[in-house]
Amino acid sequence: LRPILIHPDPRLKKHCDPVVTVDDEIRKLADDMLATMYDAPGVGLAAPQVGVLKRLFVMDCVKDKATAPAPMVMLNPEVTWTSEETNVYEEGCLSIPDQYAEVTRPREVRMRWLGLDGQIHEEQFDGLWATCAQHENDHLDGKLFIDYLGPLKRQMITRKMEKLKRERARAAKD
């Protein structure tokens, strides 16, 4: 497992670099990210959240992961189309633990990405998959769900995370 960075952290605000070659290092990173995501638990995880400033994220939004997991590894993902209709979803983030807020996003999204198989894939997502894919894709551009909130609510959440980090640092010392 890899430690998940907690906001505020400059690495979570960076524009990540494209993956150039699908090699063993990338495959190992994807495996580690999937294990970290399932352990959290979460339905998605982006590379910058584990401190790797590369354009890849993993996703598995199926209900019962125990029986039929549906892990997806998306390298250099691009949004090629979004629906006019929008959805409001109470989002969270593994880098902003225990904070939730309503975010409005396009209800459906079509994405194109490079798979671990070296092939280009294109697929349309709806439901939680669409919300998650857009949430993860934002991470690759240093954008967090709190960036869609008003400044006061964003500041309140940031202050809470700073307090949490101080407490974790103190606990780690004891």
Ligand X SMILES: O=C(O)C[C@@H](Cc1ccccc1)[C@H](O)SCc1ccccc1
Query: Which residue, 22 or 131, has its beta carbon nearer to Zn ion?
Result: 131
Contact positions with ligand X (CB under 6 A) in 131-150: 131-132, 135-136, 139
Q: How far is the CB of 49 from ligand X (least distance, A)?
A: 6
CA 48 – CA 129 distance, rounded (Å): 20
What does the binding site for Zn ion look like in residue numbers (CB under 5 A)? 93
Task: Copy the structure tokens of residue 63.
Answer: 């209900």
Q: Which of 78, 90, 122, 136 is catalytic?
A: 136
Task: Give helix then strand counts, H and E, for the chain.
Answer: 3, 7
Whether residue 113 contacts residue 78, with contact meaning beta carbons closer than 8 Å, is answered with yes
Query: Which stretch, 16-24, 116-124, 127-135, 157-165, contacts ligand X (CB under 6 A)?
Result: 127-135
Size of the residue set binding ligand X (CB under 6 A) = 17
Binding site partner of 132, from ligand X, Zn ion, none, Cβ cut-off 5-8 A by kind: ligand X
Task: Note if 108 is an active site residue.
Answer: no
Other CB atoms within 10 A of residue 123 CB? 14
Strand (E) or helix (H) holding 112: strand 109-114
- Which residue type is seen at 146? I
Interacting residues with ligand X (CB under 6 A): 42-46, 89, 91-95, 128, 131-132, 135-136, 139
The set of catalytic residues is 136
